Chain A
Amino acid sequence: MHFGLNEDQTMLQDSVGRYLEGASELALVRGFVDGEPALAGDLQTGLMDLGVPLVLIPAEHGGLGMGVLEAALIQEALGRNVSPSPFTAAYGMAVVALRACKSDEWLGRIASGEVVMGVGATEAIGAREGAGLTLSGDKVSGRASFVMGAEAATHFLLTTGEQLLIVERGGAGIEEVALTTIDKTRHVVNLDLDGASAHLLAGNNHVEAQNKMIDAGRVLLAADTLGAASMMLEKAVAYSKEREQFNRPIGSFQAVKHMCAEMAAKLEPCRSLVWYAAYAQDNVPEEAALTSRLAKSHVSEVGKFVARTSTEVHGGMGFTDLLGLHYWFKRIGANRQLLGGPQAVRDEAAQLQGFVG
């Protein structure tokens, strides 16, 4: 038994992390947020060179054939660097669903870079305002809200709750509404569909495939928050050693030290939880659904604590745009809401265990 990363996994995370540190430095992220789209394309190319989009695609379709744990390590590095990337949806969730449906053709098209998939799964978790899709033959109608990975999507993978389907971006009968969220490093859209042409995926285990996709998506969002929160803690510690008040670094005051200690003490066990939940997706099927939900909800709570506490340690500067700390704060905030907030996800976890009568 070995609970931890092996050498290959550590190397993967290091190499993606090193690349993003430079390629996704804050000045570039700011530019992207201010409407310079170049960064997204550059990162897409750079990550492609590292093989990142191929991580979950089986080797026979030109992929690397790795697991959700490796995907989570990449996602953690993306969160650390608040990198604009459709990874969660395009190369995490979509690939998990397509693998489960054995959609060889689509996996091949993703591996070749021809297709980039956005994913809409919100209504399978909890529909608001009557949103949701209905299928009539191969025509789909209704609303898919908070569709993820819209940065570079050529297609969208959507669900009616029972049936997974793919629509082409910009096709007839599809109206796309870009949403503005607190987190401008990633793009989320609503799709209003009115008899749009749908490619139905093969196979008849779509509910299972959809659930696996959501489980993996939640683990990845937890990993993204873990990365972002780790960075916020490191920034708080570094700032507290630099910033002087009353003729001493503020990091020598116990009031400040204890805030940092609390962040570290809550956050470090999240790393083990994310590793395990990600590993379970491919290796411990009986724990996959539960640990995905526990990781998503628990890491969301700890992430929120770290986001606000790190901002407080930075004092007034943390509140300004100058430091850009708020990009991490908002990334963590968006991850918390996506694919089910903590209370909703915990309720699902309770139901899974038969706790709800």
Chain B
Amino acid sequence: MDLNLTQEYVDFRAEVASFLQAHKDVAPNRNDRSVRSEKRLAWQQILLAHGYAARTHPKEYGGYGAEQDALKSRIIAEEFSRAKMPGGMSGQGINMLVPTLLELGTQEQKDAYIKPTLDGTMVWCQGYSEPGAGSDLAAVKTSAVVDGDDFIINGQKIWTSTAQYADMMFCLVRTEPDAKKHQGISYILLDMKTPGIEVRPLMTMTGHAEFNEVFFTDVRVPTHSMVGNRGEGWMVANATLTHERGMLGDPDAALSRLNAIADIMKQEQLHGTSLMDNDVYRDRLMQLQGEAYAMKMNGMRLTTLSSQKKSSGMAGLLVKLQGCELNHQMAELAIDVMGEYGMLYEKSPFIRDRGMWQTHYMFDLGLIIGGGSAQIQKNIISERGLGMPREPKPAKPAAQATN
């Protein structure tokens, strides 16, 4: 254990801080999530040029080409957060597709897609889940049938966030209907403007359409737009799912959310007394603080493991499960602290914090379910982390008949 930064990192922190100070005026608002806003695209260019976005991606594809350094990445994240300025763009294209292409894409695919994706000018959506393929993702049924040099795609995807803005989709389709479940899938890149694609917004419990359904009717896509070979899509997709799990659950974010709730508790009053002076509510805050600290330290340990290129083991496997649950419990406390005001929503008079805690509470439940549900996470933790046996497959009806 040595938590002191060496001079190299002290200097690096100062360098990031002075960059941020110098660029205060050109940075967009950090809550601005608009796609293709000129200000955000220009900001992304500045960040790319200074190595604060796509830091370790190869230069030839528009990255900064720096060596992998988990501690520097963390310092960047901390300084941006301290300055309340937005970091580089993220999204499924940057976080999931780009690493996949770097690992498994053809030269043509790398040349065509990585740079514009990192620039933020090419927006991607992910076409994995289907109504019948959620936790059992390998059960995807959307079919791609070869016709000359093309696939003809029919089927439906769901939970497709950003599909309404996306230029492109990376998706899983069944190309070998007769092969075993995991061996019949291919990973395809397609243009969202291709005829036959229909995007329908999917309204959720928050009252917003954070997701979409995407319908494919005889959508024609060239066969060379596959990543990996036919039938290898499951393996290709798993390369990106690993990136998604690492993406969720930032321990610093949990502590800053906790501090925001502490501020609310100091301001909110019940019978003229601050909620922070109420022992019951305060103890709930303190319980969550213990957990948030533990998760922050777990995150620091992961940073060290990552910079040593060591396996993160159990400390990594638990992040999605525990991080989402912790966030959800914090939103719950914020709502409870506000009493009746906690239920106000949308544009109600007297609303607190724009009703965001109810949005968090509901959306975080969505995150507990999505991206590998809590139950799937527990299977992964127990099987991969603890070495427990898999659930036996149910006997097939035919086998039962012979018994």
**Which of A46-54, A255-263, A320-328 lies at the interface?**
A255-263
**Which of B25-33, B83-91, B166-174, B375-383 lies at the interface?**
B375-383
Count residues on chain B whose CB falls below 8 Å from chain A CBs: 54
Query: Nearest CB to that of B380 among chain A residues?
Result: A261
A171 to B287, CA, bound (A): 43
Given contacts A297-B286, A301-B287, A347-B283, contact A3 B381 (CB under 8 A): no
A252 to B386, CA, bound (A): 12
Contacting residues of chain A (108-141) with chain B, CB-CB under 8 angstroms = none
Q: For the complex, would chain B's binding face be called helix, strand, loop or mixed by DSSP majority?
A: helix
Most buried by A among B289, B315, B385, B390: B289
Given contacts A269-B322, A273-B294, contact A261 B378 (CB under 8 A): yes
Task: Tell me if A1 is interfacial: C-beta within 8 Å of chain B.
Answer: yes
Residues on B with beta carbons closer than 8 Å to the beta carbon of A275: 1, 297, 301
Task: Tell me if A227 is interfacial: C-beta within 8 Å of chain B.
Answer: no
Task: Tell me if A237 is interfacial: C-beta within 8 Å of chain B.
Answer: yes
Check A252–B290 contact: CB distance below 8 A.
Answer: no
Count residues on chain A whose CB falls below 8 Å from chain B CBs: 50
Check A357–B274 contact: CB distance below 8 A.
Answer: yes
Contacting residues of chain A (1-25) with chain B, CB-CB under 8 angstroms = 1-6, 9
Check A269–B297 contact: CB distance below 8 A.
Answer: yes
A271 to B285, CA, bound (A): 21
Given contacts A268-B315, A269-B322, contact A254 B3 (CB under 8 A): no
A13 to B262, CA, bound (A): 38
Task: Tell me if B334 is interfacial: C-beta within 8 Å of chain A.
Answer: no
Q: 1/0 per residue B362-400: CB within 8 Å of A? A: 000000000000010111011101111111100000000
Q: For the complex, would chain A's binding face be called helix, strand, loop or mixed by DSSP majority?
A: helix
Q: How many A-B residue pairs have CB under 8 A?
A: 169
Check A350–B388 contact: CB distance below 8 A.
Answer: no
Q: Of B9, B293, B321, B382, which one neighbours A291 at CB under 8 angstroms?
A: B293
Check A268–B379 contact: CB distance below 8 A.
Answer: no
A48 to B387, CA, bound (A): 37
A252 to B304, CA, bound (A): 33
Contacting residues of chain A (257-316) with chain B, CB-CB under 8 angstroms = 257-258, 260-262, 264-266, 268-273, 275-276, 279, 283-284, 291, 294-295, 297-298, 301
What are 8 A-B contacts with C-beta separation under 8 Å?
Answer: A2-B1, A3-B297, A252-B388, A254-B375, A257-B378, A261-B377, A283-B3, A355-B276
Give the B-binding residues of A (Cβ under 8 A).
Answer: 1-6, 9, 69, 237, 240-241, 248-249, 251-254, 257-258, 260-262, 264-266, 268-273, 275-276, 279, 283-284, 291, 294-295, 297-298, 301, 343, 346-347, 349-350, 355-357
Give the A-binding residues of B (Cβ under 8 A).
Answer: 1-6, 9, 71, 262, 265-266, 274, 276-277, 279, 282-283, 285-287, 289-291, 293-295, 297-298, 300-301, 303-305, 314-315, 317-318, 321-322, 375, 377-379, 381-383, 385-392
Query: Nearest 5 CB-CB pairs, A to B?
Result: A298-B290, A272-B297, A261-B378, A346-B286, A269-B294
